[in-house]
Structures are given as C-alpha cells and as structure tokens.
Structure 1
Amino acid sequence: MNEPPRPTRRHVLRGAAATATVIAVGGAAGGTAAAAPGGFPDHRYLKTLLTPSQLRYNPTGEIIFPCIRGTSGRVPAPLGRYYLYYAPHDAPGGICLAHSDSLEGPYTEYPANPIVSNNWQPHYRVSHVSSPHVLWNEDEKEMWLYFHGENTTTRLARSKDGIHFTYDKVVLSTSMMPAGTTETSYARVFRHDLPAKGARYVMLFMLNNTTNHRDICWGWSPDGRTFTFDQRPLVRHLDVGAVNIGGPHLLTRGGSAYVVYNKDKGSGGDLMITEVGKDFSRRNHLGVFHNSLNGAPDNGRVAAPSFGTQDGVGYMVYEAGERLQGSIALARAL
C-alpha cells in the first residue's frame, strides 16, 4: 500500500500520502484522451457521488473539498471499504462523512453528521469548520484530520476509527506566515521524506494576503504535528497567469514530486500542475493538468481532487461546479 508509484496507468490508493495519482486532461466526455503533464495518465467523468440537496445534513446547500480514504486493515469494524470526507464551507460548515464498499458508490451518509462541528469546547468556537483532509498516519496507526476554521487557522484532530476524533492542536495560522497574511487554509498533509530538513511530512495550503490574490505555500514536519513553514510561496498565482490558485495536492512519480492545484481565472477554472522535485527545489510549471467539462457537473470548474484505486482501476474524486454551488463527482481512469 505504501510502495513507490510505478509508471503505469493505474495506481494503488496511498494510505498516508495518497500521492500516486492519475487524472484526466480530456475535456468533454467521449473526447480523445491525452497524456497529462508529468507522464500521469488520464481520467474521465463517471458520475456524481454527492449532491447537497440529497443529504440529510445540508445547512447551506453546498459542499466542498472531498477526501477519500481506504479503511481495510486500518480501522476496526469499518462502516465501509472507503470513507469519503467532505464539508459545507459557509457557516456553520461541519466535517462530514459518507461511506461505501466501492469507490463508485453508492455512498451512505453517516447519520450523525457532522462528525466535527464549529463548536468544540474547550478548544474553539468559530463561525465554521471546513476543508477536511484525512491522512492515514502509519506511524501512529490513526486517521489524522486536518481542517480549517476560521480561514486563518488549520487544526488537527486524531482518531482510531475515522469517525470519532480527539482534538490535538493548531498546526497552522496566519501568525506563522508573513505580515499581511489573511488566510491559511485548505491544507493537505502527505507522508514525504525530506532528509535535509529532518522531515517526514509536508503540508500544502492556500495563502491569501492583503492583495487578495491566493498562492500555494508549504511547510515540513518530522511528525505531522509541528511544522516549519517556508515564508515564500511555493507557487504564485502570477507564475501561472491566475487570479487565485488553491486546493493543492501532492503527487509523486519517477523520483520527482508535483503539486496539482485549481486555477481560478475569474470565472471557472482547471487543474494545473507544477513539478517541485523530490526536495521541493524546482519550479517547473507544466501547464493544464485537467480541463473542466463545460457542461454538468463541472460547469467550467474543477477543484480539490483526491485519488485512489479499486481492483486495479484508478479514480479521482473532486469538487465539481461553480464555487459554493457544486457537488462531489467521480472520474475514472481510461
């Protein structure tokens, strides 16, 4: 489950890192497949997994930021073979869970959603919590949940079963970044060794400041709890001709590392890819990684991908549709 990714069209769901991935660059369904930058294979839209109007817990009519994790051999008596985490963004938000025995679904909504709310005393009371990223921490044999609330703060909670979490600590806040920073959110953490920094985990996240243009930043950690943060952006919006960039995800292949992120052009957006190298010293902007569908469910916008395989077939779970009006969709490897 944790071996290095092989240069094939299919990849195993990575537990802690979930970094070996495959994504589509084909636009309209039924179009001709094209190789993605970096040698990654393609995915094509298959179906919509979750729609807000069909969910019991639906305080705001929108959901974002899916994260898919396998449960086999990890948690006791799992509800399903796969756990899908997601959240509304707007207040009150709430970290939610759905489960299935197949990546293709159908997914069953956990009846006690949200599993983490915006009021967790004595730790915090905030307007909203959102953007769940769950890491299988092989070192601790736990599911580690990173989530934001407010947009200034990223927090960590830990669980043995992936459902009931214990609060741990704040791992990122605007105070840890340069003066003028207004947001540090949408963080994902991956198992990735950086020997020169004494690190075994890296965090990717979105940073906003007083210019109101969002960039991708990063940090590193020996344990996934205490991070050192580069004070300079890893990828700047200006580098790729965007208004904002966000939703970063780490991929590894062929001895190198890549960051995939959504590009906001002011109206809709696609997924882009930048090669950062195994030690994060490169900045090789490779262009469009996945074109959004013009029609439903993407309606010109895709974001926040998460990845896995089942029975040798690769999948991408992603946020589809206009910002705060979308659904959670699934694409399958060609």
Structure 2
Amino acid sequence: MNEPRPARRLFLRAGAATGAALTVGGLAAPAASALTADGAAAPAVAAAPGGFPDYTYVRTLLTPSQLKYNPTGEIIFPCIRGTAGRLANPLGRYYLYYGPHDAPGGICLAYGDSLEGPFTEYPNNPIVSNNWQPHYKVSHVASAHVMWIESSKEMWMYFHGENTTTRLARSKDGINFTYDKVVLSTSMLPSGTTETSYARVFPHELPSRGAHFVMLFMLNNTSNHRDIHWGWSADGRNWTFDQQPLVRHTDVGAVNVGGPHLLYRNNSTYVVYNKDKSSGGDIMITEVGNDFSKRTHLGVFYNSRSAAPENGRAAAPSFGTDGGVPYMIYEAGERLAGSIAMARG
C-alpha cells in the first residue's frame, strides 16, 4: 500500500473520511493503494484515469420535489460527512449537506446510516439562511463544504453568499453553527474577478508554504469563463491565494469548469472538477502533485450518462468510503434542475 507521508497522515486521519471512512461506524477499510482527500482507504477496483475506481451510478438520494424545504425547485453541491466518533448523539452515521442555490438558497441537512441511503431531510432546514444578523444579509447562501477539525472537535462549514464571498461557520454538533468570518472574496483575486465561490477545503501538507490546508474554488471574471483556483492556509481561517488558475477552462476544452474536489492516490494529489454541459457535462481529472506543481490533465474521471437523472451532466462530487467500498455523491442533471445522486466504485 502506498502510505501517506507521516505529517500528512496526522491531518488526514484526524479529518478521516470527513467523507465517511476508516472507522466510521466501527467499519475498517481494507488495505488499498488509494486515499480520498479525507483519508478514506479505497479498494483496488476497475480503474479510471489515475487508477481511481470506475464509479457507476446506483440511485438518486435527494429529489427537490420530495423535500419539505424546497423554495426554488432545485438543489446543488452535496457534501457527505461521517459522524461516528466525532459528534455526540448524531441523527445518523452520515450527514449530507446540500441546498438550493437560487435566492433565498439555504444550507440544508439530511442524515442516514448508509452511503447507499436512504437519507432523511432534517425537519428544521435550512440550518443556515441568507439572513444571519449581524453578520450578513444576502440574496442567497449555498455550496456548503463541511470539514471535521480534530483539534477543536468541530465541524467547519465553508459556504458562499453572495457569489463573491465565501464564509466560515463552526459547530460542535454539525447542525447548530456559529459564524466565524469571511475567508475568500473577489477582492483577494486579480482585478476583474466577479465570482469566487463553490469552495472546498482539505487537510494537506505544504511544508514550503507553511500550510496544513488547501482550498479549491471556482473563479469567474469579466470574460465570463470559469476556472479552478486554489489557496493555502496554516489554520483553515486565514488564506493566501494563487493569483493564477490551477486549471483553466481552455486547458480541457471547456467553456466553464467548476465543482473541484481533491483526491489522493499512489502518493500523488489530483483535482477532479466538472465541465459545463455545453462542453460535455463530465467530471474531469488533473494531477497536480503533492506540492501542486504539476498540471497533467488526464481526461474524463466520470462520464455522465445521457439517461436520467444525469441527462448529460454530473457535477460537484463529494467522496466517501464505507466498509471498503468507495462512493461518490454528486449533482445529477442540468444545473438548477437536478438531484443528488450516488455512484459506487
């Protein structure tokens, strides 16, 4: 098995499968050559680019029309997190964060005991709204990415609202959050930047930069083409951002790219992200290396199906492993007209 470096192991095991993983529910993953960005071991199965599992759609987990909180008829950006050994008296072994994007948006929660589903909608959604006085009042909040922080025994939530601003909130139970601060805004990136949103944060050691975390996010500018950008941080709260794209839309023949997620395998680091539907609607993969110095574009990571519920678009993946089986939870269907689906590796 390709083991992570000792320094990285500290952070990945601490966040362990913040996507559901090694010790969730007492299940131990078998020896394997892969790690998700949250530290979950993945078994050797059929390979996609980079040697990752070849994920196959299994079922839809959440459909807007079946949800009590459904102000806009659409939901986006799932984030799956394991609760066992972290939260006292959780509602289930897994918390699935999601929500509508369009105004008023709202960060929502569903819970379940298996990555296969079913998931039950939390009755008091949204758990974070677009009006959180005295901190902000915006048209919408969306795209919650939640990460377990072992040192403080907290769930940290990164979310955007407006599209120009990413914020951080913190929670001991994964439901009731305390506002922290703005962590990303258009003012921190080059002139002409109009959007900095859909951020995900991961434990990752960058010794040369004194960093223990990296952030991936989507940036739009006055050209109205979206790229993947990144930043690094020592504490997850205060950030430095590369002023150049990590993945340009032109690098992979797309009009727009977005929904990035970090993955590890074979002692290297990869970014997966989605193309817009007009460019194929697939999830792509690029090797960036452990120090983020590579830009090796490996092609399609997950090929969206033309059949429902994907209808030619898969996006914004979140990953977890349960009992040695890798899962991908993702947006399925046209943007703002889709559902949350599950694929198995």
Partner of 2:26: none
**Displacement of 1:18 after TM fit?**
2.2
Partner of 1:29: none
Question: Unmatched 5+ residue regions in structure 2?
Answer: 1-11, 17-21, 23-28
Q: TM-score scaled to structure 2, two decimals? A: 0.89
Q: TM-score scaled to structure 1, two decimals? A: 0.92
Tell me which stretches of 4 or more aligned residues in structure 1 moved more than 3 Å: 3-11, 19-23
Structure with more helix by fraction: 2
Asked if 1:91 corresponds to 2:103, the answer is yes
Partner of 1:309: 321
**Displacement of 1:135 after TM fit?**
0.6
Cα separation, 1, equivalents of 2:137 and 2:154 = 25
Note if contact 2:48-2:301 (Cα within 8 Å) is conserved in structure 1: yes
Change beyond 3 A, Cα 1:248–1:59: same
Q: Secondary structure at the match of 2:278?
A: coil
Partner of 2:5: none
Note if contact 2:32-2:41 (Cα within 8 Å) is conserved in structure 1: no
Cα separation, 1, equivalents of 2:301 and 2:92 = 31
Change beyond 3 A, Cα 1:268–1:88: farther
Q: Deviations over 1:64-96 (max 9, x none)?
A: 000000000101110000000001000000000
Q: Secondary structure at the match of 1:151?
A: coil
Q: CA RMSD in A?
A: 2.0
Q: Deviations over 1:275-298 (max 9, x none)?
A: 000000010011111100110110
**Displacement of 1:22 after TM fit?**
6.7
Identity fraction in percent: 75
Asked if 1:172 corresponds to 2:184, the answer is yes
Asked if 1:18 corresponds to 2:42, the answer is no
Partner of 1:127: 139
Change beyond 3 A, Cα 1:51–1:9: farther
Of 195, 199, 215, the match for 1:187: 199
Q: Deviations over 1:177-223 (max 9, x none)?
A: 00000000000000000000000000000000000000000000000
Note if contact 1:19-1:250 (Cα within 8 Å) is conserved in structure 2: no
Note if contact 1:242-1:265 (Cα within 8 Å) is conserved in structure 2: no
Q: Secondary structure at the match of 2:251?
A: helix
Cα separation, 1, equivalents of 2:303 and 2:330 = 13
Partner of 1:228: 240
Question: Unmatched 5+ residue regions in structure 1?
Answer: 24-32
- 2:312 maps to a residue whose letter is G
Q: Deviations over 1:261-287 (max 9, x none)?
A: 001252651000000000000100111
Partner of 1:101: 113
Cα separation, 2, equivalents of 1:324 and 1:20 = 30
Asked if 1:198 corresponds to 2:222, the answer is no
Asked if 1:8 corresponds to 2:32, the answer is yes
**Displacement of 1:253 after TM fit?**
1.3
Note if contact 2:253-2:279 (Cα within 8 Å) is conserved in structure 1: no
Asked if 1:54 corresponds to 2:78, the answer is no
